[in-house]
Amino acid sequence: MADMKIGAYVCQGCGLGERLDTKALAQVAQKEGKAHIVREHEFLCNAQGVAMIQKDIDEEGVNRVVIGACSRRAKAEAFHFPTVAVSRVNLREQVIWSQPATDEARELTQEMAEDYMRMGCAEAKKVVAPTPNAAVGTNKRILVVGGGVTGMTAALEAARAGYDVLLVEKTAALGGVMAKLFKRVPFREPYSDPQPTGVEDLVAAVTNEPRITVFLHATTTRTSGAPGQFSVDITTESGQTQTENVGAIVMASGFTPYDASRLPELGYGKSPNVVDQSGLEALALAAAAKGEPMRRPSDGREIKSVVFVQCAGQRDASGTHLRYCSGHCCNTSMKQAMYFKDQNPDIDTVVLFTDLRTPGNGEDFYRSAQKKGVTFTKGKVSGVEAAGDGSAVVKFHDLILDEPAATMAGVDLVVLATGQVPNSGVNIDIPADATDVDDKPVEHAVSVLNLTYRQGPDVPQLKYGFTDSHFICFPYETRRTGIYTAGPVRRPMDIAQAMDDATGAALKAIQEVENAALGRAAHPRSGDLSFPTFRREGCTQCKRCTVECPFGAIDEDEQRYPQFNEGRCRRCGTCMGACPVRVISFENYSIDSVGSQIKAVDVPDEFSEKPRILLLACENDAYPALDMAGVNRRVSSAFVRTIPVRCLGSVNTIWITDALNSGYDGVMLMGCKHGDEYQCHFVKGSELAAYRMSKIDDTLKNLNLEADRVRNLEVAITDMERVPQLINDYAAKIQEIGMSPFKGF
Amino acid sequence: MADVVATNETIVVIGGGISGMTAAVEAAETGKDVILLERAPSLGGRVSQLYKYFPKLCHPTCGMEINLRRLRGNRRIKVLTLAEVQKVTGEAGNYQVTATLHPRFVNENCTACGACAEAVTAEIDNPFDYGLSRMKAAYLPFTMAHPQRYVIDPSLIGTEEAQKAKDACRYDAIDLDMKPETVTFSAGAIIWATGWRPYDAAKIQPYGYDRYANVITSVEFERLADTRGPTGGRILRPSDGKEAKNVAFIQCAGSRDRNHLTHCSRICCMASLKQTTYMRERFGDDAQSSIYYIDIRAIDRFEDFYQKVQADSTVKFIKSKVANITEDEATGDVILHGVDTEGYHRYDNRHDLCVLAVGMEPSVDVRRIADVAVDASGFIEVNGPNGAIFGAGCAANALDVNRSVQSATASVLRAVQVVNRVAKAEG
């Protein structure tokens, strides 16, 4: 680039001036780094220092800035030059603070600093401040799939913020499960009595909201595109399809009660007097419509005794039924017991439970139930049997009296608290043509969204079919950018939680349409304007990028080339790491921007006793841990040169082979934990890196190098004590196996 | 604070813990201007003092790093620390927020080089460790503190020590003449995310928290387990520094109790289950954890975690509300007395250490500051007649981290609705 002009600045503050020869660093930047302007400053992050840099940008045409000072994680507010590419050279935390402040250490510390200046200048030459993608989608309508309480709330809340909404409901009416309830659990003070569901008001509010268009008897039969530019086919029962464009999607497809007929031991299906919680609601609604008390389903006799069986087919460690707890059922059973108690306090209501779970103010509701005379017994139900008179006998292990063969007889109605099963559509982790143990084809659920994405028609599921986020800190983290799930499809929940959840999901959908229109990335690289581009003529159509993208951002075009949907991309660089022919890059992060840093390091000859170890560190966890080790003045080997990477998933094996070919003695990778409880914020980055590195052994063999020349490590951000230890252990290992034979080639 | 510009399209977020930080970044990333006010000298709140999160046993600072990067990279957020909100007046779309900015005695010139801390000898209790350790009176609150700027404790002001700190600073960052400042901002909507505090365990008299050294709270236990904590992660009991291999966990300490907190604090069961894994991590098969509980509330997928802990042979579950605790003065051991209600067995169980799973109460009495409806426990009513003041996270309910963040995200949309209306009205 003809107009490239690098300004390199070396700070002398925080002890850099005493510990390092900053003049020599400036010379390195000028002579080797080819910086056009080089300046030292005694306190670069103060107003004067920042003004000096800004002046060079404004008046001297500097468009690449190299800052030799503290970590990129420090003083970000001061060193904010949005119009140019900025390379931060970490001389403080990871050089002087990680090396002993002794005269003996001076030479190696200086060598480290000089290498990092070379690397910073090399990077600066290869990156530009990204310009947003011109092909952004600017549609700001929100599509909500599902017209239950979650979907209606999401639609209404988005509309109230000024956004147009399309609401698609599969059945003939809005309301979902909420419309099938007699009453709901109280959601504000006093938490004492069942409350009207309010579903009519909610349906009316949705219907009367001019910004919301409702499609009944309708499903989404095709969804393609990207945030800001989704194209959706909405098909009604009559077979008519219309295509609409939307900017983001909230999936609120709800739940189905667990099939109680799988619990014959609890009498369901054998006697009409055994119902599940939704069955009880139906009885209550029917009775209320008639203005009569509920009666025994089998013979219409008066109900005198009701038993509620908690955790029916739930919390089942054997895995026969649901393993999880659905959260709402304890409160729901108490509410249902109150249906009887409020009607006639003499009706005997017993809740049989193992752990009663009424968090928060549910505790008030629990006390209210006790006050109304609902009995709570800690016991594990083993069976429900019919007696001759139409009543039932409930057999249970009484855990308080430690009576394994306790019974309750003369029970008129048994209510099974079964759990919520999410309506999450197709499990895309199971191949479409998969077969079960008996070689029969696996039956797939009906798709909810019918995405045309190469990776499958619905959003990925986390566990037990729920589409929840894997991350504790980021409940709306989604692996399908611009598509947010809410309500019981995401996690088991009650009405109050579903309404709150719907509001959160609607916010994320709105945020996504706003950012998509500006070409900005979504979390975790929020605001990043870079996006992947590929050199089509070099592509071999190997499909690794399309398969490995954690966000399903890459499809295939008609000619089977990868088709990048930039709006779906989260800028992790996994595709770049995957590409064997290295045709994928970002404006501010590329094979070359890292590769040239690797090559910029001065590799001393074989006899110097100064090995060089490359450390590629995940910028979210490993790199901060290295910084904090420095803050705590933990010493680590001076032979290591660290480059932060967006994710280990972006590490292309060419970087490793290039490093080894150019005489590095070892390469370390530090990334996040992988496996079931993975920590990688790009889902599979560290796992993919581990896999790719397991394949690098052949390369090492071809180069006649030891397997220990490459080491892949899992670290956490808190490993500020362990990380220096890992580095020093590896440096010792390299010392032991000796210097690389590739020096000076 | 002339550089803070606020209008009635600004969203003010009060509280810089995980809920407040989330609300601030989510609002700013939706294109709104945000002022984030935090009473402490740095962001992060209570979660930054946890060793690990349940159920993944991952580290809170991992998510904090991402949130801090989002926050630092977004020019729409103005963060003010040591900012204590005094009064909120006005109505939806037109609030005035008055806050006191307490002096840090350190300005933005600070590079966090640490020279002031080296120069100072005076020490104070370290609040980050709940007073379980001491630290220099010129300090960075914790390694990942944001803003990355030191604090001079007010107790130093007027002493020679303060002058020593000032003399050690080469960047003119220490200003010993800083005075408290009162500022008032306009706001269209307010997100109230002031979080929770642990219930005062001393109020549960039969448990002797104020009398026995080896009765501690669950939040203190987090610090003992944390490898960055006062014991370097070795679980040592306070009385004699002995390894605490036999630990009792008492659930509902102050929660679900008419004499204390009437609500269930939701997180405590999972927190204690998690803490038994710390025991195993440190002591392996030699660990002995006993959980005294009424109901184990491991809701939804957390059930998996409960089942995993149940399968651990070093963990015992005793269904009992512990009646009282006595101390064996000779050894410092604590003895728990009560009745195991499963089978009605009386017990007097000896343990090295007892951890009270203390409940959550709102950290601030909101009604002193603003006209806001709260429930009987003091949590802000989400459905209350609160204008455009929206509770988020544990200011609104007893919530775990994941649900707090979800709640904070929802509160942002409610605030956005208000400021969008204001913007539309103003054209």
Task: Return the number of other C-beta atoms located less than 10 Å from residue B174's C-beta.
Answer: 24
For residue B329, the distance in angstroms to the closest alpha carbon of chain A comes to: 34
Instruction: Choose the closest CB to B397 out of A360, A463, A515.
Output: A360
- Cross-chain residue pair B109–A157, CB shorter than 8 Å: no
Q: What is the per-residue pLDDT across B354-396, written as a single tens digit (0 to 9) for each? A: 999 999 999 999 999 999 999 999 999 987 789 999 999 999 9
Q: B73 and B216 share a domain?
A: no
Q: How large is the average pLDDT for residues A545-563?
A: 96
Which chain A residue shows the shortest CA-CA distance from B341?
A400
Judged against a pLDDT cut of 80, whether residue B3 lies above it is answered with: no
Residue A560 lies in a domain: no
In a domain, B108, yes or no: no
Domain end, chosen from B360, B379, B406, is at B360
Chain B, residues 183-222, CB within 8 A of chain A, namely: none
Query: Taking CB atoms and an 8 Å limit, are B413 and A624 in contact across chains?
Result: no
Pairing of strands B138-139, B151-152: antiparallel
DSSP 8-state symbol, A95: I
What's B381's DSSP letter?
A: P
Are residues A217 and A286 both part of a single domain? no
| Same domain assignment for residues B410 and B367 | yes
Q: Which two tokens stand for residue A168?
A: 């698609």
| CATH number, residue A505 | 3.50.50.60
Q: Are B301 and A526 within 8 A, CB to CB?
A: no
List, as ranges, residues 120-149 from A with C-beta within 8 Å of B. none
Query: Does residue B326 register a pLDDT over 80?
Result: yes
ipTM computed for the complex: 0.97
Cβ–Cβ < 8 Å for B411, B190: no
Asked whether residue A670 is assigned to any structural domain, the reply reads: no
Say if residue B61 is in the same domain as residue B185: yes
Query: Could you tell me if A488 and A412 lie in one domain?
Result: no
A438 and A301 together in one domain = no
Let me know: does A712 contact A669? Beta carbons within 8 Å.
yes
Say whether B171 and A716 touch across the interface (CB within 8 A): no
Last residue of a domain, one of B325, B360, B395: B360
User: What does the alpha-carbon distance between residue A409 and residue A424 come to, in Å, rounded to a whole number?
Assistant: 40
Residue B184 CA to residue A492 CA, distance in Å, equals: 43
Q: What tens digit of pLDDT does each residue of A286-329 get?
A: 999 999 999 999 999 999 999 999 999 999 999 999 999 999 99
Contact between residue B215 and residue B207 where contact means Cβ atoms under 8 Å apart = yes
Give the span between the Cα atoms of B147 and B232, in whole angstroms.
25
3-state secondary structure A68-93: EECCCCCCCCCCCCCCCEEEEEECHH
Q: Are A277 and A411 in the same domain?
A: yes
* Closest chain B residue to the Cα of A509, Cα to Cα: B30
- Note which residues in 95-124 of chain B have CB less than 8 A from chain A: 109, 111-113
- CA distance linking residue A469 with residue A177, whole number of Å: 24
The last residue of a domain, from among A476, A496, A516: A516
Query: B413–A506: do the CB atoms touch at under 8 Å?
Result: yes
Give me the pLDDT at residue A697, please: 83
* B6 found inside a domain: no
pLDDT band at A520 (very low <50, low <70, confident <90, very high): very high
For B135-161, what is each residue's pLDDT tens digit?
999 999 999 999 999 999 999 999 999
Instruction: Answer whether A508 sits within 8 Å of B416, measured CB to CB.
Output: no
Q: Which domain holds residue A192?
A: 142-254+423-516
Confidence band, pLDDT 50/70/90 cuts, at residue A134? confident
- Distance of residue B15 Cα from the nearest chain A Cα, in angstroms: 17
Residue B2 has pLDDT above 50, yes or no: no
Q: How far is B191 from chain A (nearest CA, A)?
A: 14
Number of domains in chain A: 3
Find all residues with CB under 8 Å of B127, minimum gap 6, and list them.
Answer: none
Same domain, B340 and B233: yes
Examine residue A280 and state whether it is found in any structural domain, yes or no. Answer: yes
Token pair, residue A400, equals: 């308080």
Determine how β-strand B11-14 pairs with β-strand A710-714: unpaired
According to the model, what pLDDT value does residue A444 have? 87
Q: Which amino acid is at B210?
A: D
Phi, psi angle pair for B83, to nearest 5°: -105, 115
Examine the domain organization and report whether B51 and B146 are in the same domain. Answer: no
CB-based contact, A491 to chain B, within 8 Å: yes
The reply to whether B168 touches chain A by the CB within 8 Å rule is no
Other C-beta atoms lying within 10 Å of the C-beta of residue B315: 21
pLDDT tens readout for residues A699-744:
888 888 999 999 999 999 999 999 999 999 999 999 999 999 888 7
- Give me the pLDDT at residue A237, please: 93
In chain B, residues with a C-beta closer than 8 Å to the C-beta of A474 are 63, 66, 405
Q: Mark whether B347 and B388 lie in a shared domain.
A: no
Domain span at residue B236?
199-360
Q: Among the three residues B360, B376, B394, which one is the final residue of a domain in this structure?
A: B360
Helices and strands per DSSP (H, E), number in chain A: 18, 29
Q: Give yes or no for A718 touching B (CB within 8 A).
A: yes
Amino acid in position A224: S
Residue B319 lies in a domain: yes
- Is the pLDDT at B1 greater than 50? The verdict is no
Task: Specify burial of residue A374 (Cβ count, 10 A radius: 0-12, 13-18, 19+).
Answer: buried
Residue A66 lies in a domain: yes
State pLDDT tens for residues A61-104: 999 999 999 999 999 999 999 999 999 999 999 999 999 999 99
In A, which residues are within 8 Å of B414 by CB distance?
157, 503
- How distant is the alpha carbon of residue A618 from its chain centre? 17
